[in-house]
Structure 1
């Protein structure tokens, strides 16, 4: 039974070596004008922008309240950990998408991310976090800062695992049929988190409509992943659950 949940990994095309990766990128971007490729690219772009800003705000909120030197260290840990995890998950994405039920589970996880974003965008959380000077918008995050350096570092590390997996699954779900766009999207996500996350957080805080568009895209991708993750003939969860439901 266990083999069934991993044997279907072959159903997901392997990214292969550098030559195959480059060929996939060239193929997808040479056809970027096609409706499917353009839609996938725009979805990936919006997901990366919104989640990078959201991730920065979470890290800043958890570090807020600590002394300045400790706060900067925690934020640095958060950014470095996010970069490492995104690279690791990106390298594993083909294998991850080949696990039966993970696409469905990823869609459910993204719905939870969407709910968290909706709550953060639509509500005024006031003084839940004192905010950190390094990250714009984290004072309205609704996240209580950790009380110690060790507590903040652990909280950031745990949050990074979830947020990095969210990001990789969202990008992979949006561009599943376009591996070249998926690869570029994952590289872009890493660059944004490492270089421009705070800038993005500042603009998302100032122009909330950016966040609403990103939220709509994430909800769409989540629903699509849940549907595909249930009905897919090789990787869908439905064909494994149906016999148990039917008795």
Structure 2
């Protein structure tokens, strides 16, 4: 038998080029699960009769009216536990395919970045908190309103708020969307002193208001965008992110 000897030794091989990480990294399973649940729920609702779908809204949509003093006389199903559940369950329901697909398209990249930093369990807990923050803001701004609120926009806005705490550095947006744990978490004071961060937040607010105004113009009088829920979710994410973040080995700037 004859062997073949290469003229270059293994030690002389040029170093392999570093693998370029995808722009959003691999989407963690909990993010995919959440997006899939939203899509499947909407598909299942389309198979229901109008009366049955209305029952789904009564059980799971967020309606400020059910927290009024005389809510027990209004015929809402369930009790206090069901009412508390709607602070989160409303985020899994959507108006139409455009609504659910738009929220899903934003959830996947933003959620991937947060989930890769904090882990799947903390990510889901963070989504629960931001959904509740959006519902609370809607409740405070629409006390006694009988119109149901649905949609995951509070979660999406909360993810944006959380991203600002570790993705936006002193030199601007960090290129690594994977959100690695070694990146220091920025303090609120640091963000408040950063003109770029303030400008970015102002841009998000203006963009959100413009989207709301445009959507309201096309939606008609029977439907509207709950921008207060967007703001509540964003603040919940921005302020509450440290509660869900993994311990940072380095002090926040």
Q: What's the TM-score bracket when you normalise by the shorter of the two chains?
A: under 0.3
TM-score normalised by length of structure 2: 0.26
- Greater length-normalized contact order (CA 8 Å, ≥ 6 residues apart): 1
TM-score normalised by length of structure 1: 0.27
CA radius of gyration, larger in: 2
